[in-house]
Structure 1
Amino acid sequence: MSPRGVAIPDLRERLFAAAERVVARDGAAGLTSRAVTAEADCAKGVLHTHFASLDEFVAELVLDRFARSARQAEQLQARVGQATVTANLQEVVLALLKALPPAVVGLAMTRPAAAAHTREGFQAGAPAFDAIQHAFTAYLEAEQGGGRLPAGADAATIALALVGTSHHLLMTRVPGGGEDLQAATGRLLAVLLGNTPPSAL
């Protein structure tokens, strides 16, 4: 266990990762502040030293994972002209879906205080689906400019459909369910990018 009074590098991420492991192993009911700190190998009170409540902690976890996904979506610009349009988009969508386990999303949505704190974060400008949608649109428009997406394709609508489906999958997945997310997103992209030149798919 980390000794008292010693700063713990990357404490937030350490606690967030521990919470995800607890939820994956014990379900939403198993997520307590003590379970998180025990999993993170930290002193019992360290979570409440940095977060006002478990609800605030859960909300901050969700906000952090959305921000991480938005940053990854923004990095699509560096991949314009590389690999394939499908592969580049699918990588970001799958990362988003994997970054937010269903049980964690459920906690943030079903605990009123956590849901309120999450909404406040989004209202204050924390990245969410709109930031990811904007990044998808910018990426698709760049690929369009390079000829890897047809000139007549509606980049903004493709981005909206992709983000909307991602939202649906994120909110409706069953913890431990056997759905093949890669296959599902692959089929969606095949439809959305149906007129894209084969070499860019």
Structure 2
Amino acid sequence: MAPRGVATPDVRERLFAAAERIVERDGPGALTSRAVTTEADCAKGLLHAHFTGFDGFVAELCLDRFAKTAAKARVLTETAGQGTVERNLNAVALALFDSGDLALSGLAMTRPAATLAIREALERGAPGFTEIQDAVAEYLEAERALGRVARTVDPPSVALALVGTAHHLLMTSHPGAADPRPLVARLIATLVPGGE
């Protein structure tokens, strides 16, 4: 543990990573500010010194993970013509389910103040599902131009269906629910027939 008064480097990511480990290991019910700081091996008040309470922490954790997934989606177009269309789409869609995102989204939904903060941040332009959807549509347009996706495929509709399904699965999942990855893989194969 860092001595009192000594700066803790990368405190946000350290606390976020600790929260994800707790949720993955013990479920969202085990996530408390004390559990996070104990897991992160830092001072008990550190979380409240950097976030507007525990709801603020949960909201910023979810927004941070959405932003990281949106960043992955933004580079999707650069993969056009490489690998397979299904694999490329799966990589982005499934990134939403990595790092405990299912449980974290469920946690946020049980905390109305966190849910409101997330909604307000997204309305102000924070990266989220809309940015991911736009990136998927742009990628599919690029693949269609290369002839790797059938001309009959409507990229914006496929992107909406894919991201909407991922959003639905994130928001309705619960501990012990079936792994959504196979379902998403089947959806991609259905939505983009003829993709390499």
Q: Same fold (TM over 0.5)?
A: yes
What is residue 156 of structure 2 aligned with on the other side? 156
Describe the shift of the 1:180–1:36 C-alpha distance in structure 2 as closer, same or farther (beyond 3 A): closer
Equivalent residue of 2:22, what SS? helix
- CA contact under 8 A between 2:106 and 2:173: conserved in structure 1? no
Q: Describe the superposition over 1:157-196 as per-residue Cα deviations: whole angstroms up to 9, x where unpaired.
A: 111111111111111222133x2433212211111012x2
**TM-score normalised according to structure 2 size:** 0.94
Once the 2 structures are TM-superposed, how far is the Cα of residue 37 of structure 1 from its aligned partner? 0.6
What is residue 46 of structure 2 aligned with on the other side? 46
Q: What CA distance in whole angstroms lies between the structure 1 residues aligned with 2:99 and 2:24?
A: 12
Once the 2 structures are TM-superposed, how far is the Cα of residue 100 of structure 1 from its aligned partner? 4.6
User: What is the CA RMSD across the aligned residues, in angstroms?
Assistant: 1.4
Once the 2 structures are TM-superposed, how far is the Cα of residue 152 of structure 1 from its aligned partner? 2.6
Q: What CA distance in whole angstroms lies between the structure 1 residues aligned with 2:140 and 2:182?
A: 21
Equivalent residue letter for 1:164: G
Q: What CA distance in whole angstroms lies between the structure 1 residues aligned with 2:124 and 2:99?
A: 22
Identity of aligned residues (%): 57
Structure 1: which 5+ residue stretches go unaligned?
none
What is residue 126 of structure 1 aligned with on the other side? 126
Q: What CA distance in whole angstroms lies between the structure 1 residues aligned with 2:130 and 2:103?
A: 22
Structure 2: which 5+ residue stretches go unaligned?
none
Q: What CA distance in whole angstroms lies between the structure 2 residues aligned with 1:64 and 1:188?
A: 26
What is residue 182 of structure 2 aligned with on the other side? 183
Once the 2 structures are TM-superposed, how far is the Cα of residue 116 of structure 1 from its aligned partner? 1.2
Once the 2 structures are TM-superposed, how far is the Cα of residue 5 of structure 1 from its aligned partner? 2.4
- CA contact under 8 A between 1:63 and 1:118: conserved in structure 2? yes
What is residue 58 of structure 2 aligned with on the other side? 58
What is residue 92 of structure 1 aligned with on the other side? 92
Q: What CA distance in whole angstroms lies between the structure 2 residues aligned with 1:111 and 1:173?
A: 16
**TM-score normalised according to structure 1 size:** 0.92
Q: What CA distance in whole angstroms lies between the structure 1 residues aligned with 2:100 and 2:187?
A: 20
Describe the shift of the 1:96–1:102 C-alpha distance in structure 2 as closer, same or farther (beyond 3 A): closer
Equivalent residue letter for 1:128: G
Q: What CA distance in whole angstroms lies between the structure 1 residues aligned with 2:103 and 2:184?
A: 21
What is residue 111 of structure 2 aligned with on the other side? 111
Runs of 4+ aligned residues of structure 1 deviating over 4 Å after TM superposition are none
Equivalent residue of 2:97, what SS? helix
